[in-house]
Structure 1
């Protein structure tokens, strides 16, 4: 096996990258960076006895690259958000068409929930494979998936978001 075995996985990598980034050109850059890293790190990949696992390894590489890119843009994004604050809309029907669009609903999810939903629901990874890709326990994947699906349901049905209240009691 060699790096040329990654070629059949490119369409799935592109789809996952597009959903992660929300932009076609950034997604293509992410796929290219992932494949480049896979070529450089090829000796580190350990195939399973049945020969599988390459897709999960590539998705893990992509996930880690995406996290690195997001971390690099944190300061830049904070500055832009301060400059572009908008008045909240008081018309509850103003965003209904936008909420019905699944892509916009996915963009509303936090990155950890969105990545989990995409890996399990779109890429059809098992909970165990998704946990390996994300580097978290299987129970965390199940919890994130449940919360992500519930938020998607609320966003696409037009329900108002529920405020999360802390469950910790402050003791003096």
Structure 2
């Protein structure tokens, strides 16, 4: 779970150091609250919710700022192979990072939870404590913004079928 937690933490916190601190705080809180985890439910959704709540608490207390110079992109997207790809492919990955970094936090979180972490709309809604329709709306806006930033005319359809069971 740590790579996935780090990926989500980066989408929230913006910097690697802040993300690492958020992961550590999440793990500590989860260990203290382990008795409240309901067997048979998804551990990842439970941990993502703890992380998001922790981030909100810290954000409200300190009002931290994430630098757009260090775009928020889930480390899961920083594929090891990208280091060995052609310069054009690395440039494209940089464009994706920049586009994600410009998204509002609410859209970025939904995009990371659904498209990177693989949560269903319903699971993402539970993590973010919003209605499923809000997840769908934010995801559509996030995809459109990233597509526009990358100069693509089509919206992505890689998540078709995920809607089933979330309505």
Name the TM-score, length of structure 1 as normaliser: 0.67
Measured after TM superposition, the shift of residue 141 of structure 1 is 0.6
Q: 2:34 aligns with which of 36, 42, 46?
A: 42
Matched, 1:142 2:141: no
Query: How many aligned positions are there?
Result: 128
Q: 2:109 aligns with which of 106, 115, 118?
A: 115
2:125 partner SS = helix
Looking at structure 1, the residues matched to 39 and 134 of structure 2 have their Cα atoms a distance apart, in angstroms, of 25
Measured after TM superposition, the shift of residue 45 of structure 1 is 1.3
Looking at structure 1, the residues matched to 23 and 29 of structure 2 have their Cα atoms a distance apart, in angstroms, of 10
| Preserved contact between residue 60 and residue 132 of structure 1 (Cα < 8 Å) | yes
1:157 partner SS = coil
Matched, 1:28 2:51: no
Looking at structure 1, the residues matched to 94 and 2 of structure 2 have their Cα atoms a distance apart, in angstroms, of 29
CA RMSD, Structure 1 to Structure 2 (Å): 2.3
Aligned pairs for 1:14-93 (under 5 A) are: 14-48=6-40, 52-74=41-63
Looking at structure 1, the residues matched to 102 and 57 of structure 2 have their Cα atoms a distance apart, in angstroms, of 20
1:26-83: per-residue Cα shift (whole Å, max 9, x none)?
A: 11101000000101111211122xxx41111001111111122222233x65xxxxxx
Choose between structure 1 and 2 for higher RCO, CA contacts under 8 A separated by at least 6 residues: 2
Looking at structure 1, the residues matched to 142 and 27 of structure 2 have their Cα atoms a distance apart, in angstroms, of 28
Looking at structure 1, the residues matched to 8 and 131 of structure 2 have their Cα atoms a distance apart, in angstroms, of 21
Stretches of structure 2 lacking an aligned partner (at least 5 in a row):
66-90, 154-167
Q: Structure 1's 105 and 73: CA in aligned 2 closer, same or farther, altered over 3 A? A: farther
1:124 partner SS = coil
Name the TM-score, length of structure 2 as normaliser: 0.69
Looking at structure 1, the residues matched to 93 and 29 of structure 2 have their Cα atoms a distance apart, in angstroms, of 36
